[in-house]
């Protein structure tokens, strides 16, 4: 009872709100839109990014409103800085005469919502209360469950991200964990194909369904796999990808983490806004590379980008795919280029592309193969880091969900991350091509 009373008191407390005015915005238009209710307490109206940032550090603000006109780089900078340095504070943009491209960037850098001016104080207050409610719900979910989230990353396409994601997710499920997998390659996602899951409902369908998002609704749009993994499938058409942005995904992740033991994300190549958002929210990054000069160079650049983002290097795991390929590149060469040794080596295996064509992860199709053992070792790394005993699964033994998955899709398009293809034979002395000037970590 005491806890409930304390919660009620907290909910009734007015939200201390700081208003930042960008250069060029008409202050009268902004003040006319500010709600005059007991729910919102304006603690300051400040003009200029520098002054706003200083005031934000000195004022116990619980909500930041950024009012701007047109396309404002200064506003984007303030949003990004606040999201990075003060992640608990919701950020809402009051935009006047701003183009759609700017509004898209606002969400990409982390704003919680946008209100176009002029607008009535009642509608502005409604938008602010929605943002605050979402923030409280996310905080509550974080208290109730915060499962580790693994972002499988490979700056270069074709390194085996999708195959790694599917086998890692299933291997974790075989160890008795509840697992959710998300396909973040929004234009050309192949995770459903690699796992043999029929895309009866996709992320696009979830966005188009409208209304509020909760765990039950999200669960209804995840597709079950025979291993027990639930898959949030990417859109089936490239033109549908634009409807899904970082702001939507930031709502999805806490819900999945509150209802799963592990969440595994299959990212797209490159550092897109969706991938950057996923990295920021993830517990671990699993970087995938292969034994060729271009892949190793891009792996090094990917690790350097993570360092620039301030990502903890102790939470990055490097997996080297097709690690037994005889192309004249050894472990010392990998160390010289990438700056670290791989944590897990996944060997080439002709059974991997066959398993992909059948829509069955190799850990299920050929559990005794060398590749399957490597993927289970990869899952074991994450289990041990979370303080769990890996507990080897019996070959062929899986947890089954309520409905069978569609599998077999032979004759369909191959996964772009086909793991088991033989790399081209290196010409000449491959080590000469590895002198990329990389610094050691």
Q: What is the pLDDT of residues 378-416, one digit of tens each?
A: 999 999 999 876 554 444 443 333 333 343 333 333 333
The mean pLDDT value for 106-110 works out to 87
Can you tell me the mean pLDDT for 93-109?
89
Phi (first) and psi of residue 116, to 5 degrees: -80, 135
Q: What is the pLDDT of residue 375?
A: 95
The closest alpha carbon to 23, from 44, 47, 45, belongs to: 47
pLDDT score, position 269? 86
DSSP, collapsed to helix, strand or coil, labels residue 346 as strand
pLDDT for residue 420: 40
Residue 138 pLDDT: 62
Edge-to-edge strand list for the sheet holding 179-183: 223-224, 230-232, 179-183, 262-266, 149-153, 284-290, 316-321, 344-346
| Residue predicted with more confidence, 396 or 181 | 181
Dist CA 376 CA 346 (whole Å): 10
3-state secondary structure of 15: strand
> What distance in Å separates the CA atoms of residue 171 and residue 372, rounded to the nearest whole number?
9
Lowest mean pLDDT among 75-89, 99-113, 389-403: 389-403
Distance CA 304, CA 307 (A): 5
Q: Is the pLDDT score of 8 beyond 90?
A: no
Average pLDDT over residues 334-361: 87
Phi and psi (nearest 5°) for 437? Answer: 70, 25
Q: How many Cα atoms sit within 13 Å of 23 on the Cβ side?
A: 9
Angle at 89 between CA 25 and CA 185, to 5 degrees: 95
**pLDDT surpasses 90 at 295:** no
Report the range of poorest mean pLDDT among 186-195, 201-210, 257-266, 318-327.
318-327
What pLDDT, on the 0 to 100 scale, is given for residue 339? 82
Q: What is the pLDDT of residue 413?
A: 33
- Report whether pLDDT(336) > 70: yes
pLDDT the model gives residue 436: 32
Name the most confidently modeled range: 168-172, 346-350, 416-420.
Answer: 168-172
Higher pLDDT, 310 or 217: 217
pLDDT band at 310 (very low <50, low <70, confident <90, very high): confident
Please give the residue that has the higher pLDDT: either 138 or 335: 335
User: Contact 257/144 with Cβ under 8 angstroms?
Assistant: no
pLDDT for 423 equals: 35
- Cβ atoms of 193 and 413 within 8 Å: the answer is yes
Q: Tell me what pLDDT residue 52 has.
A: 93
Q: Name the more confident of 235 and 389.
A: 235
**pLDDT band at 430, cuts 50/70/90?**
very low
Q: How many C-alpha atoms does 421 have within 13 Å on its Cβ side?
A: 14
Which pairing describes strands 223-224 and 230-232: parallel, antiparallel, or unpaired?
A: antiparallel
Poorest-pLDDT segment among 147-151, 211-215, 321-325, 408-412: 408-412
Q: What is the pLDDT of residue 265?
A: 97
Q: Of 256-265, 306-315, 417-426, which gets the smallest average pLDDT?
A: 417-426
* pLDDT at 434 exceeding the cut of 90: no
Average pLDDT over residues 265-275: 89
Could you tell me the domains of the chain? 2-144 (3.40.50.2300), 149-422 (3.40.50.300)
Band (311; pLDDT cuts 50, 70, 90): confident
What value does the mean pLDDT take over residues 297-321? 88
Percent of the chain at pLDDT above 70?
A: 82
DSSP state of 20: E
Q: Which of 102-116, 178-192, 295-309 has the highest mean pLDDT?
A: 178-192
Least confident segment among 22-26, 185-189, 237-241, 405-409: 405-409
């Amino acid at each position: 009872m005491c806890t409930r009373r304390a919660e009620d008191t907290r909910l009734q407390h007015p939200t201390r709100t700081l208003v930042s005015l960008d250069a060029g915005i008409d202050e009268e238009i902004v003040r006319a839109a500010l709600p005059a209710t007991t729910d919102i307490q304006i603690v300051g109206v400040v003009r200029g990014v520098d002054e706003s940032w200083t005031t934000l550090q000195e004022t116990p603000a619980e909500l930041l409103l950024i009012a701007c006109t047109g396309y404002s780089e200064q506003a984007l900078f303030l949003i990004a800085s606040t999201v990075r340095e003060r992640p608990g504070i919701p950020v809402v943009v009051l935009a006047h005469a701003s183009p759609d491209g700017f509004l898209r960037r606002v969400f990409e850098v982390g704003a919680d919502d946008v209100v176009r001016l002029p607008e009535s104080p009642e509608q502005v207050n409604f938008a602010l209360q929605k943002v605050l409610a979402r923030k409280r719900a996310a905080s509550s979910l974080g208290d109730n469950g915060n499962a580790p989230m693994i972002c499988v990353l490979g700056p270069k396409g074709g390194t085996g991200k999708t195959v790694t994601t599917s086998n890692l997710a299933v291997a974790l499920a075989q160890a008795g964990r509840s697992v959710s997998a998300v396909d973040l390659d929004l234009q050309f996602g192949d995770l459903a194909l690699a796992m043999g899951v029929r895309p009866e409902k996709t992320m696009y369908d979830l966005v188009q369904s409208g209304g509020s998002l909760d765990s039950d609704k999200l669960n209804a749009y995840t597709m079950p796999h025979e291993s027990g993994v639930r898959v949030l499938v990417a859109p089936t058409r490239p033109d549908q990808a634009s409807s899904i942005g970082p702001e939507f995904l930031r709502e999805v992740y806490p819900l999945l983490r509150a209802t799963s033991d592990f969440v595994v994300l299959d990212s797209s190549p490159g550092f897109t806004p969706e991938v950057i958002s996923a990295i920021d929210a993830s517990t671990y990054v699993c970087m995938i590379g292969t034994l060729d000069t271009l892949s190793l160079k891009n792996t090094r650049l990917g690790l350097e980008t993570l360092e620039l983002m301030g990502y903890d290097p102790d939470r990055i795991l490097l997996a080297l795919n097709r690690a037994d390929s005889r192309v004249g590149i050894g472990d010392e060469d990998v160390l010289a280029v990438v700056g670290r040794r791989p944590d897990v080596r996944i060997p080439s295996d002709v059974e991997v592309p066959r398993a992909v064509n059948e829509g069955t992860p190799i850990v299920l199709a050929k559990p005794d193969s060398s590749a399957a053992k490597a993927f289970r070792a990869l899952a074991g790394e994450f289990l041990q880091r979370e303080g769990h005993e890996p507990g080897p699964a019996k070959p062929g033994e899986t947890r089954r969900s309520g409905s069978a998955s569609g599998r077999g899709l032979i004759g369909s398009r191959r996964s772009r991350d086909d793991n088991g293809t033989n790399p081209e034979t290196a010409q000449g002395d491959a080590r000469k091509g590895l002198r990329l000037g990389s610094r050691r970590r």
